[in-house]
């Protein structure tokens, strides 16, 4: 039996969840994607963007349907706990639950390591520029190669931990601030880059690079891990997590990054005069973020040193990374809280957050420059398993079981879910073949 959903007024939780999803989605992947899509060109990347976004939005809404399922033998739904772990165990069993735990922690450890790797460098640059205002030069210390590989991730990890361990409402405020800075920096960066735009740079095309783009776009459009946290946030505000407004916030929150990525991709590919795969392949191998490349290209083309461009490129890069850290950090802390089944003690979020960031910082310090490799591993394997295959299997199982109550059934037919499952297997198989050098 399916309960009738109520249309609730648009509250702060509605807009807060949109910003949390959008801010968490527009992140470090945005700094990596043009480096990858540049090899294929505009039209190839556009096709990959559309396919990847539709795939991720569909599986995200399917996951939402799964989270809204409960066992019909329960007498009350008022105390139903919204979390991925219990949902997977109830629908697919303990073995699947253990695989989900492994994939989830593996995925977001790789992602956080990537964020700390590049974000740490940017964080050090901001600190360095801040002290220069007071005529204090710290370049010999914090920008020294001996220390910079360690100082950046450590300081960014401490800062991120101090935010993530707070209550949802405070994290939401910090995230809104980060999204606002991100939007302003993005618009200014697009405006500065426009004079260097050349439509002839968009002519290159190589459809053979299409499969290479998928893992990075899966990560770039990944918001699934934030859905349980968004539902908990809704429930804390409205006591009704499964309202139609929740679905609207998920769709809108996912659609905003899609538009932003398309604009960003078109701008970057039109500015960078790379007419061969070799140039972008070199960028990829060096693990460079696209804002560094963009700054260098515009300076060269205009024959002037554009200090404003360099500044806003750094602001944009850091805002993109920090908003992603907020979104991913919240989801990981909530996920681990669901695993350990501990009482909700005041310090439990702080402990989980501390150990999570500590482990990621240590890995980052030992493997500096791992940005693109970490994102590729995360998107090609863990994300496909966790947010592609698992939600489809859970949804099909729930729909076939008459003892399961689905509080919010999505409009997708079973045939479409089988298609998404087949597509997920294709993506995963390709990544495995690529890892062994078969393709």
Would you say the C-alpha torsion 283, 286, 290, 292 has a positive or negative sign?
negative
- Mean pLDDT across the stretch 245-271? 87
- Mean pLDDT across the stretch 371-380? 65
Of the ranges 27-36, 178-187, 270-279, which one carries the lowest mean pLDDT score? Answer: 270-279
Measured between its terminal Cα atoms, the distance across the chain in Å is: 47
- Mean pLDDT across the stretch 45-60? 94
Banded pLDDT at 370 (limits 50, 70, 90): low
3-state secondary structure of 25: helix
Question: What ranges in 199-341 are assigned the alpha helix state H?
Answer: 210-220, 227-238, 244-271, 277-286, 290-302, 307-340
Residue that the structure tokens 């990537």 belong to: 114
Residue 81 has pLDDT above 70, yes or no: no
* pLDDT value, residue 345: 45
3-state secondary structure of 406: strand
Residue 3 has pLDDT above 80, yes or no: no
Report the percentage of the chain scoring pLDDT > 90: 13
Residue 33 has pLDDT above 70, yes or no: yes
- Mean pLDDT across the stretch 21-45? 79
Of the ranges 34-48, 221-235, 266-280, 297-311, which one carries the lowest mean pLDDT score? Answer: 297-311
3-state secondary structure of 54: helix
d(CA 80, CA 74) in angstroms, rounded, equals 9
CB 396 within 8 A of CB 91: no
Of the ranges 142-146, 224-228, 401-405, which one carries the lowest mean pLDDT score? Answer: 142-146
- Of residues 370 and 352, more confidence is placed in 352
The rounded mean pLDDT for the chain is: 78
Structure tokens at 202: 């968009």
Question: Tens digit of pLDDT for each residue in 189-233?
Answer: 888 777 778 888 787 788 888 887 887 788 788 888 788 877 776
Q: What angle do CA 313, 319, 323 make, to 5 degrees?
A: 155
Question: Tens digit of pLDDT for each residue in 286-310?
Answer: 666 777 777 777 666 655 545 567 7
* pLDDT value, residue 235: 65
Phi, psi of 41 (to 5 degrees): 95, 180
Nearest Cα neighbor of 388 from 414, 418, 348 is: 418
| pTM of the model as a whole | 0.79
* pLDDT value, residue 369: 66
Which DSSP symbol is given to 110?
H
d(CA 139, CA 148) in angstroms, rounded, equals 10
Residue 243 has pLDDT above 90, yes or no: no
Of these ranges, 13-27, 76-90, 243-257, 388-402, the one predicted with the greatest mean pLDDT is 388-402
* pLDDT value, residue 307: 58
Question: Tens digit of pLDDT for each residue in 322-357?
Answer: 888 887 788 788 778 777 654 444 457 788 888 889
- Mean pLDDT across the stretch 141-149? 66
3-state secondary structure of 261: helix
Angle formed by the axes of helices 390-400 and 84-92, to 10°? 60
CB neighbour list of residue 132: distance below 8 Å, 6 or more residues apart: none
Phi, psi of 428 (to 5 degrees): -65, -40
CB 210 within 8 A of CB 283: no
* pLDDT value, residue 76: 41
Nearest Cα neighbor of 111 from 330, 427, 382 is: 382
Nearest Cα neighbor of 224 from 15, 82, 25, 19 is: 25
Phi, psi of 118 (to 5 degrees): -85, -35
Which DSSP symbol is given to 369?
T
* pLDDT value, residue 372: 59
- Residue ranges and CATH numbers for the domains of the chain are 12-435 (1.20.1740.10)
CB 314 within 8 A of CB 125: yes
Q: How far is CA 102 from the centre of its chain?
A: 18
d(CA 250, CA 221) in angstroms, rounded, equals 12
Q: Which residues pair with 405 in a beta bridge?
A: 70
Of the ranges 24-28, 56-60, 65-69, 266-270, which one carries the lowest mean pLDDT score? Answer: 24-28
d(CA 26, CA 159) in angstroms, rounded, equals 20
- Mean pLDDT across the stretch 345-374? 76
């Amino acid at each position: 039996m399916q309960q009738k959903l109520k249309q609730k007024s648009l509250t702060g939780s509605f807009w807060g969840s949109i910003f949390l999803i959008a801010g968490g989605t527009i992140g470090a992947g945005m700094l990596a994607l043009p480096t990858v899509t540049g090899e294929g060109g505009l039209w190839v990347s556009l096709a990959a963007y559309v396919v990847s976004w539709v795939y991720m939005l569909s599986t995200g809404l399917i996951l939402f349907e799964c989270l809204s399922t409960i066992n019909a033998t329960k007498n009350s739904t008022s105390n139903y706990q919204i979390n991925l772990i219990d949902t997977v165990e109830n629908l697919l069993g303990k073995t699947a639950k253990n695989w989900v735990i492994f994939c989830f922690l593996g995925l977001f450890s790789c992602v956080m390591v990537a964020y700390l790797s590049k974000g740490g460098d940017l964080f050090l640059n901001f600190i360095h520029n801040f002290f220069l205002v007071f005529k204090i030069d710290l370049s010999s210390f914090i920008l020294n190669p001996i220390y910079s590989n360690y100082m950046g991730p450590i300081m960014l990890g401490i800062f991120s931990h101090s935010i993530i361990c707070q209550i949802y409402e405070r994290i939401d405020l910090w995230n809104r601030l980060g999204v606002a800075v991100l939007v302003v920096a993005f618009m200014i960066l697009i405006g500065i880059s426009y004079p260097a735009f050349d439509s002839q740079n968009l002519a290159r095309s190589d459809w053979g690079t299409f499969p290479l783009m998928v893992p990075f776009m899966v990560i770039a459009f990944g918001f699934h891990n934030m859905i349980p946290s968004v539902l908990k946030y809704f429930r804390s505000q409205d006591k009704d997590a499964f309202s139609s407004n929740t679905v609207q916030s998920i769709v809108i929150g996912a659609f905003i990054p899609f538009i932003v990525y398309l604009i960003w991709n078109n701008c970057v590919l039109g500015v960078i005069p790379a007419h061969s795969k070799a140039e972008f392949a070199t960028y990829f191998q060096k693990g460079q973020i696209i804002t560094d490349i963009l700054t260098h290209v515009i300076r060269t083309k205009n024959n002037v040193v554009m200090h404003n461009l360099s500044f806003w490129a750094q602001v944009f890069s850091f805002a993109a990374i920090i908003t992603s850290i907020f979104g991913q950090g919240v989801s990981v802390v909530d996920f681990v809280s669901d695993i350990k089944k501990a009482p909700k003690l005041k310090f439990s979020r702080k402990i989980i957050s501390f150990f999570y960031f500590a482990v990621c910082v240590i890995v980052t310090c030992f493997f500096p420059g791992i940005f693109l490799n970490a994102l590729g591993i995360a998107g090609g394997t863990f994300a496909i398993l966790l947010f592609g295959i698992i939600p489809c299997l859970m949804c099909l199982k729930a729909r076939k079981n008459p003892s399961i109550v689905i509080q919010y059934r999505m409009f997708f037919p079973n045939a479409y879910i089988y298609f998404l499952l087949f597509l997920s297997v294709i993506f995963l198989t390709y990544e495995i073949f690529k890892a062994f050098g078969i393709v």
